[in-house]
Amino acid sequence: MRKKLSKKEAQSRHFERRSIERVGVILNQNEIVRQIQNNELSVIGKQTNRVTLFKLEHLGKSFKVAYDKNRKQVVTIMPEDVCKN
């Protein structure tokens, strides 16, 4: 029987899968969280009361990173042009 993942573990695995799918490499989650907590990434907006979107530059491309402030965990990554109005 498989152990049920915590929300934080599930978010971490989701980020890894989306990082490979959308960026082509597994990005260092701890480094991204450190940059967010040190105000090195700019805020794009809020998704919910718990999740904030940040702009990440990687190899000349811009990405949105969703960050869960309650769990201090990155949730997902997507190209910046996704969901533009």
For residue 1, the model assigns a pLDDT of 79
**3-state secondary structure labels for all residues of 19-79:** HHHHCCCCCCHHHHHHHHHCCCCEEEEECCCCEEEEEEEECCEEEEEEEECCCCEEEEEEE
* Total of domains in the chain: 1
Q: Directed axis angle between helix 7-22 and helix 29-37, to 10°? A: 100
Tokens 């979107």 -> residue: 53
Asked if residue 85 is part of any domain, the answer here is no
Domain extent, residue 69, equals 7-79
Asked if residue 2 is part of any domain, the answer here is no
Asked if residue 1 is part of any domain, the answer here is no
Distance CA 80, CA 40 (A): 17
The band of 83, judged by pLDDT with boundaries at 50, 70 and 90, is low
The band of 64, judged by pLDDT with boundaries at 50, 70 and 90, is very high
Asked if residue 21 is part of any domain, the answer here is yes
13-63 pLDDT, tens per residue? 999 999 999 999 999 999 999 999 999 999 999 999 999 999 999 988 999
For residue 25, the model assigns a pLDDT of 92
Asked if residue 71 is part of any domain, the answer here is yes
Asked if residue 43 is part of any domain, the answer here is yes
For residue 85, the model assigns a pLDDT of 45
Whole-prediction pTM = 0.87
